[in-house]
Amino acid sequence: MAGGPVTSETLPGLRCEIDDLDAQIVRLLAARLQVVERVVQVKQRDGLPANIPERVEEVVAAARHRAEAEGVPPDLAELLWRDLVSWTIAYEDRHLAIEGNDGL
């Protein structure tokens, strides 16, 4: 409602809460990506591939379990984590290929 107070009982207030949560999620994604950068270095050093299927399934299962414990639909968590992991594997693949060519 225009001109009214912005509280969690209004659509603008709820949108602000969602925006704040989205900002927190993006900060966590940035922190996760920093760790992924270190993972790329370890995989390069140890000659490991970007995609390790057993690990993918462990990560997805853990996300489903955590989601269920928090009252989040596990299917939603699985969908999001599979996309996140897929993107991460592609990112690692690109960086492993680039770093693998540095010595050529």
Give the pLDDT confidence of 28-65 residue by residue, as tens digits.
Answer: 999 999 999 999 999 999 999 999 999 999 999 999 99
Cβ–Cβ < 8 Å for 23, 41: no
| Neighbouring residues of 81: CB distance < 8 A, sequence distance ≥ 6 | 59, 60, 63, 64
pLDDT of res. 3: 55
Give the pLDDT confidence of 60-80 residue by residue, as tens digits.
Answer: 999 999 999 999 999 999 999
Q: Is residue 50 part of a domain?
A: yes
Q: Is residue 42 part of a domain?
A: yes
Q: How many domains in the chain?
A: 1
- CATH number of the domain at 22, please: 1.20.59.10
pLDDT of res. 8: 67
Which carries the bigger pLDDT value, residue 3 or residue 82?
A: 82
Q: Is residue 2 part of a domain?
A: no
pLDDT of res. 99: 73
pLDDT of res. 7: 63
Q: Is residue 47 part of a domain?
A: yes
Q: Is residue 5 part of a domain?
A: no
- For 52, the domain range is 11-100
Average pLDDT over residues 22-33: 98
Q: Is residue 20 part of a domain?
A: yes
Q: Is residue 4 part of a domain?
A: no
- Residue 25 burial class via C-beta count within 10 angstroms: exposed 0-12, middle 13-18, buried 19 and up: exposed
Q: Is residue 23 part of a domain?
A: yes
